[in-house]
Amino acid sequence: METILNPKPQTQNPIIYPVILAVPDKQQKLTGREKVAFLSRHARGALEISAQKSGVELTHLIKGENGEPLPFDGNYWSLTHKTGYVGGVIASTKIGMDLEKIRPCSAALFRKTAQDSEWRLSNADPTRLFFRYWTSKESVIKASGAGIKDLSKCRIVKIIDHNHLIINYKNQDWIIEHHDFDGHLASVVKNNFNVEWTILPASLNDNAKRHVG
């Protein structure tokens, strides 16, 4: 059965359903354009499950001039993919999602990702903190439709707890929620939503739609 994290909260806030699909071992070994094409299709499969959970029927997905996802029928969407996992989420307002495998990073990349004042907000494990910051900022620029050039314009202004923080970007605050799984970390724009994460292992991918409930 699928793994569902965080039971549905008993509140009136709307729920978003970020869905993460494992990539089968065989497809992880693909290379080049073939790999990119598969991961893109697989991520859209995750988005379709998210849409079903939200009661939304996917139509033709279109991207803008800068590759940003364009909303349809008032629905916003975001995709993310890495070698081992892909993800997708749909929402009624601007949304962004990102995931990364947690791994060692260079000091130069730390400096590029955030300023000293941001790093001083937490004394937690620096590697996990790096990926909290990176995936959070990626989620915000995806939601805003900006490119990677705006990563440095996103500022971490508050660490709420182990799985939530606030980013300020262009004078707007964005609340981000994280989820750790299998050596990876995923982030999604939370704001006023409640979040229900769904993780599907590779063995269930082919029949994923049957497990949507």
Q: For 9-65, write each residue's pLDDT tens digit.
A: 455 789 999 999 999 999 999 999 999 999 999 999 999 999 999 999 998 899 988
Q: How far apart are the first and last CA of the chain?
A: 11
Which pLDDT does position 146 carry in this prediction? 83
Task: Please state whether beta strands 194-195 and 15-16 pair in parallel, antiparallel, or not at all (unpaired).
Answer: parallel
Place 207 in a pLDDT band, splitting at 50, 70 and 90.
very low
What does the pLDDT average to over 60-81?
92
Q: For 89-147, write each residue's pLDDT tens digit.
A: 999 999 999 999 999 999 999 999 999 999 999 999 999 999 999 999 999 999 998 87
Which pLDDT does position 211 carry in this prediction? 40
Which pLDDT does position 6 carry in this prediction? 54
Which pLDDT does position 13 carry in this prediction? 86
Q: Which two tokens stand for residue 210?
A: 């049957």
Helices assigned H by DSSP within the chain: 25-28, 32-53, 107-113, 116-119, 126-144
Which pLDDT does position 9 carry in this prediction? 47
CA distance 171 to 208: 40
Which pLDDT does position 60 carry in this prediction? 84
What does the pLDDT average to over 172-179?
98
Q: Which residue spans within the chain are E strands per DSSP?
A: 3-5, 15-16, 19-22, 76-81, 85-91, 97-101, 155-161, 164-169, 172-181, 184-189, 194-195, 197-200
Which pLDDT does position 29 carry in this prediction? 95
Which pLDDT does position 202 carry in this prediction? 75
By C-alpha distance, which of 168, 192, 188 is closest to 179? 188
CA distance 71 to 64: 10
Query: Whole-prediction pTM value?
Result: 0.89
Distances (CA, A) of 43 to 1, 25, 132, 158, 192: 20, 16, 21, 30, 24
The fourth-level CATH superfamily of domain 13-211 is 4'-phosphopantetheinyl transferase domain (3.90.470.20)
Q: Where are the domains of the chain?
A: 13-211
Which pLDDT does position 147 carry in this prediction? 79
Q: Is the dihedral of CA 136, 138, 143, 147 positive or negative?
A: positive
